A and B are shown apart, each in its own frame.
Chain A
Amino acid sequence: KNQVEQSPQSLIILEGKNCTLQCNYTVSPFSNLRWYKQDTGRGPVSLTIMTFSENTKSNGRYTATLDADTKQSSLHITASQLSDSASYICVVSLSFHAGNNRKLIWGLGTSLAVNP
């Protein structure tokens, strides 16, 4: 069964601190793995997209890693800011042989609260 599991479910940190969010997946055939940030009441915004051959990708203070062998990914947030408070969702894209509409398998997200 294609699944994406994220941990922790929720996290509270102080402003300025770093944190790491985890994502484990059992998805096949794998196309790519994405991390999205979703503010409350808003649509998701893409942070990173990684293919099978990519181990790490950064976007400002966000750094994602991917271990395709263990099927694990992490999102590291450096020097957190109050505006980082949001839900962070790990999404894995299935690779189909035909067509362009690749199916996305969504995690439940990690709810991050950054407190002053």
Chain B
Amino acid sequence: GAVVSQHPSRVICKSGTSVKIECRSLDFQATTMFWYRQFPKQSLMLMATSNEGSKATYEQGVEKDKFLINHASLTLSTLTVTSAHPEDSSFYICSAGGTGEETQYFGPGTRLLVL
């Protein structure tokens, strides 16, 4: 199956700093990438959908100025958590799929801890 990687796998940062998370599709071109957030013992929550070369579509309640998404190429999307606060501590997961792709391939996730 297709491989999606995320970097870093875990990050600890101070409150107020910004953190960038990368999501890469290693062996296929992903026209669409999805960013999810998962709190402990809860389901994945879709944050935004990013399409290569265009602005991301954010889900209701997700601040686009706080969670900056860039999908500059068919193999890379980045999520930047700006001015992170402890409540942003969570497990962030990306997934990637091609045009009309029914299957989304998930990355291994990034654990963010904001102190």
Interface residues of A (CB under 8 A from B): 32, 36, 41-46, 49, 89, 93, 100-104, 106-109
- What are the residues of chain B within 8 A of A107 when measuring CB–CB? 43
8 A Cβ contacts from B35-52 to A: 42-46, 49
B103 with A49: CB separation less than 8 A: yes
Residues of B within 8 A of A106 (CB): 43-45
With contacts A46-B104, A89-B44, A106-B44 known, what are 16 further pairs, Cβ within 8 A?
Answer: A32-B102, A36-B106, A41-B91, A41-B111, A43-B95, A43-B109, A44-B93, A49-B102, A49-B103, A89-B43, A100-B101, A101-B32, A104-B46, A106-B45, A108-B42, A109-B43
Q: Is the CB of A46 within 8 A of B42?
A: no
- Per-residue 0/1 for B16-49: is the Cβ within 8 Å of any A Cβ (1 yes, 0 no)? 0000000000000000100000000011111001
**Are the C-beta atoms of B108 and A44 separated by less than 8 Å?**
no
Q: Which residues of B contact A45 (CB under 8 A)?
A: 106
Say which size band chain B's interface belongs to: 20 to 34
Q: Is the CB of B43 within 8 A of A41?
A: no
Q: Given known contacts A43-B93, A44-B44, is B106 in contact with A101 (CB within 8 Å)?
A: no
Interface residues of B (CB under 8 A from A): 1, 4, 6, 32, 42-46, 49, 57, 91, 93, 95, 99-109, 111
Chain A: minimal CB distance from B3 (Å): 11
CA distance A89 to B41 in the complex (A): 12
A102 to B32, CA, bound (A): 11
* A residues near B91, Cβ cutoff 8 Å: 41
Known contacts A89-B43, A101-B32, A109-B43: A42-B103 contact under CB 8 Å: no
Contacts of A43 in B (CB 8 A): 4, 6, 93, 95, 106-109
Residues of chain A within 8 A (CB-CB) of B95 are 43
Residue of B nearest to A93 (CB): B102
